[in-house]
């Protein structure tokens, strides 16, 4: 019997409801000793909708994913990949931070 991944289904439903290009949404689910890592790829035009002002939308999505994970006794994390042609492309690698690094910095403040 195939294993059901309600966290993946939930994330896909939420993201596709928010973006203008739902057919370009790709979610990769990886399980390891640290828990579940959901990796999100989407159209660069939709990044602002998913991140939100000051990262609030992304933070809310991560919070809801963690709640879904707790229901299934799993630690769920979300990584949002910078799309090709994104606003940070072309900058020096050492000068840029990933979306997740910025979000972690915001949490620590």
Q: What is the pLDDT of residues 15-67, one digit of tens each?
A: 999 999 999 999 999 998 889 999 999 999 999 999 999 999 999 999 999 99
- pLDDT digits 0-9 by tens, 75-105: 999 999 987 765 554 444 434 566 777 667 6
Residue 59 structural domain: 6-108
Q: Is 95 within a domain?
A: yes
CA dihedral of residues 86, 88, 91, 93 (deg, nearest 10): -100
Residue 76 sits in a domain whose CATH number is 3.30.300.20
Look at the chain and report how many structural domains it folds into. Answer: 1
Q: Is 78 within a domain?
A: yes
Query: What pLDDT band is residue 72 in, cutting at 50, 70 and 90?
Result: confident
Question: Rounded to whole angstroms, how far apart are CA atoms 44 and 52?
Answer: 13
The pTM is what? 0.72
Residue listed under structure tokens 């294993």? 3
Q: Is 1 within a domain?
A: no
Q: Is 66 within a domain?
A: yes
């Amino acid at each position: 019997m195939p294993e059901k991944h309600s966290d993946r289904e939930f994330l896909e439903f939420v993201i596709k409801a928010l973006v203008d290009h739902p057919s370009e949404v790709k979610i990769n689910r990886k399980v390891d000793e640290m828990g579940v890592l959901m990796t999100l790829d989407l159209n660069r035009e939709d990044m602002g909708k998913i991140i939100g002002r000051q990262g609030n939308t992304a933070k809310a999505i991560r919070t809801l994913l963690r709640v879904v994970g707790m229901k299934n006794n799993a630690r769920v994390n979300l990584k949002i990949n910078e799309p090709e042609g994104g606003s940070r492309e072309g900058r020096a690698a050492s000068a840029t931070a990933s979306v997740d690094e910025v979000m972690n910095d915001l949490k620590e403040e």
